Amino acid sequence: MTSEEHPPQDSLHLLDHTLGLLHKSAPALMATEELDTLVHLCLSLLVTPNGGNFQNAILLMVNPRAHSMQGILGLNRNSVGWTIPAADHWEFPPELEQEQHETDFCQKAQHLRLSCAPGDNRAALAVLEQRAVSTAESMPESDLDRLLDGRDYICLPLQDWERAFAVLVVSNDSTPFPNEAQRRFLQLFRHHAQLAMTKCRLLQKVEASRQDLNAFEERLIQQEKLATIGEMAASLAHELRNPLMAVGGFAALLQRQLEPESQAGEYAGIITREIQRLEKLLNNILDFSKEQIACVEDYRLDSLLADILELELPTMLGRGVTLDTELAHKLPPLKGDSQQIRQVLLNLIRNALQAMSGGGNLTVRSHLSRLRGEPSLCVEVEDTGGGIPTNLLRNIFNPFFTTKEEGTGLGLSVCHRIIEHHHGVIEVVNKEHGACFKLHLPLHLAKADPGPWHRF
């Protein structure tokens, strides 16, 4: 066996091996851009026989919102499956990542859930006090102690410019652990690892920001196009409205003067009905394109739902639709324009009923939820009308897009704009027998009032 396979334990050779390992691994750590691969590489360097040669290495990621830590990866000396190559430039084998995930020790490490509460465990203490914490400090036994079978270990927090984002846990069979030389090596390695991981996390944030910026740019372009279309539609609607009203009025006058059973009377009736449909379309276009002011007030979602369901009950009975409700009790009040939210809920329920012209089941649910990490209320309207074709789902909220023969294609687009203005989210998913629209509304609106808004 070479000295690299089993590092010498005397201090001079150990120092030489440590410096050589750090010098050799630093370029590889900084060159790795994928965070998952970097984590595998860091832990493999610690446990591989010609590397750190420690018994176990575990990485815990800190979840500040949940005040907890989650096991991400765990490796031990016997299952690492990798040794440092002799070449100066090397990469971590992609296929080995999956193999390491499937080891028994890694599976147990990934099930670790540790609290960040003070005094709960050593990893939490390392995060809270931003320092290395070893088993030399007495604390109650935790799941981490049980996973490591009572071995001595040390917890090293990995920090960026804001806080500790992860904890590196390293254990060994030697007692006591760590000795001074091992502690120095781990502190140096920790600096390399946290610098490389911070770089990867920054790259991820930059890429996410770039994608958000591109999406925002696309939305702005789309909004500009829609605004232009809206202005043209509104102008055209105004021009067409007067002659249509005149034609409709004369057609209605003729219908009254002609015999209903005559062919001329039938034609006059058709003209009257079609003119009424065109007038309704023009009114919808004008309503859709005009500026609308939101009246912010406190309102209760459960009261709105109760009123709307009572209003639509005769229609349900007439269509042979049964109603199931799963409504949470004592929901907190919301802030917003209750009339606009009423319009959205009424539109969704009526659309569901129209999709079940031959009967079916309407299910309305309400419950507390989370939206962008903040508390919210969720309303679900689910029908058994067969659902929406998958290729049409992405267009369902676009203006003038409709699957109905007599639809204007504006109802869902209006709903989408109203919910956006209330800082909420509306989405649709296909279920087994139909479609389900989900409406998420935050409990608290943003402090800055967006003021007047256009539906385009």
Distance CA 265, CA 251 (A): 10
- Evaluate whether 11-207 and 292-456 have a shared fold: no
The residue ranges of every structural domain in the chain are 11-207, 292-456
Quick one: average pLDDT of 133-144? 91
Q: Residues 6 or more apart from 454 whose CB is under 8 A from it?
A: 227, 230, 289, 291, 292
Which residue would you say has higher pLDDT here, 121 or 295? 121
For the cut 60, the answer to whether the pLDDT of residue 400 exceeds it is yes
Q: Which of 43-52, 180-189, 277-286, 447-456 has the lowest mean pLDDT?
A: 447-456
Cβ atoms of 365 and 352 within 8 Å: the answer is: no
Distance CA 121, CA 283 (A): 65
For the cut 70, the answer to whether the pLDDT of residue 406 exceeds it is no
For the cut 50, the answer to whether the pLDDT of residue 65 exceeds it is yes
Confidence of residue 291 (pLDDT cuts 50, 70, 90): low
185 SS3 class: helix
- How many percent of the chain have pLDDT more than 90? 27
The CA–CA distances, whole Å, from 245 to 222, 248, 256, 284, 412 equal 33, 5, 17, 15, 27
For the cut 60, the answer to whether the pLDDT of residue 2 exceeds it is no
Quick one: average pLDDT of 70-94? 84
DSSP state for residue 284 in the 8-state scheme: H
Distance CA 324, CA 328 (A): 13
Domain 292-456 has CATH 3.90.1300.10: no
Q: Which of 87-96, 284-293, 430-439 has the lowest mean pLDDT?
A: 284-293
**pLDDT averaged over the chain?**
82
Q: What integer pLDDT is reported at residue 165 of this predicted model?
A: 92
Q: What integer pLDDT is reported at residue 403 of this predicted model?
A: 62
Q: What integer pLDDT is reported at residue 5 of this predicted model?
A: 42
For the cut 60, the answer to whether the pLDDT of residue 302 exceeds it is yes
Distance CA 104, CA 147 (A): 11
Could you say which architecture CATH assigns to the domain 11-207? 2-Layer Sandwich (3.30)
Which residue would you say has higher pLDDT here, 327 or 414? 327
DSSP state for residue 140 in the 8-state scheme: -
